Amino acid sequence: MKANRIYNFNAGPAALPLSVLEEIKDSFINFNGSGMSIIEVSHRSKWFDKVINDAVERTKRLLKLDENYHVLFIQGGASMQFCMIPMNFLHDGKSADYVDTGTWSTKAIKEARIQSKQITIAASSEDKGFSYIPQNVKFSNNAVYAHITSNNTIKGTQWRTFPDANGVPLMADMSSDIMSRPLDTEQFGLIYAGAQKNIGPAGVCMVIIRDDMLNMVPDGLPSMLKYTTYASKNSMYNTPPCFAIYTVQLVMKWLEETIGGLEKMEEINLKKAKILYNILDTSGFYKGTAEPDSRSIMNVTFRLPNEELEKRFIQEALENGLGGLKGHRSVGGCRASIYNPTSLEAVEALTDFMKNFEQKNG
Instruction: Report CA-CA distances (Å) from 235 to 77, 79, 190.
Output: 14, 18, 16
Given pLDDT bands bounded at 50, 70 and 90, which one contains residue 4?
A: confident
Topology of domain 22-259 in CATH is Aspartate Aminotransferase; domain 2 (3.40.640)
Tens digit of each residue's pLDDT (9 = 90 or more) over 229-272: 999 999 999 999 999 999 999 999 999 999 999 999 999 999 99
Choose, from 155, 173, 177, 226, the residue flagged as catalytic.
173
Whether 197 is catalytic: yes
Whether 104 is catalytic: yes
CB under 8 Å to 320, separation ≥6 — which residues?
A: 353
Tens digit of each residue's pLDDT (9 = 90 or more) over 156-168: 999 999 999 989 9
Give pLDDT, residue 2: 54
Is 24 in contact with 247 (CB distance < 8 Å)?
A: yes
Kindly state the percentage of the chain with pLDDT values over 90: 97
Given pLDDT bands bounded at 50, 70 and 90, which one contains residue 1?
A: very low
Architecture of domain 261-361: Alpha-Beta Complex (3.90)
Given pLDDT bands bounded at 50, 70 and 90, which one contains residue 362?
A: confident
Torsion from C-alpha of 115, 120, 124, 126, nearest 10 degrees: 50
Give pLDDT, residue 147: 98
Locate the domains of the chain by residue range: 22-259, 261-361
Give pLDDT, residue 338: 98
Tens digit of each residue's pLDDT (9 = 90 or more) over 116-133: 999 999 999 999 999 999
Judged against a pLDDT cut of 80, whether residue 3 lies above it is answered with: no
Q: In 90-138, which residue ranges form alpha helices assigned H by DSSP?
A: 103-114
Residue 219's Cα: distance from chain center in Å? 30
Tens digit of each residue's pLDDT (9 = 90 or more) over 182-227: 999 999 999 999 999 999 999 999 999 999 999 999 999 999 999 9
Tens digit of each residue's pLDDT (9 = 90 or more) over 7-26: 999 999 999 999 999 999 99
Give pLDDT, residue 73: 98
In whole angstroms, what is the distance from residue 334 CA to residue 290 CA?
12
Tens digit of each residue's pLDDT (9 = 90 or more) over 273-315: 999 999 999 999 999 999 999 999 999 999 999 999 999 999 9
Phi–psi pair at 36, nearest 5 degrees: -130, 160
Choose, from 197, 226, 272, 326, the residue flagged as catalytic.
197
Choose, from 104, 117, 159, 226, the residue flagged as catalytic.
104
Work out the widest C-alpha separation in the chain, in whole angstroms. Answer: 64
In whole angstroms, what is the distance from residue 25 CA to residue 284 CA?
44
- Total length of the chain: 362
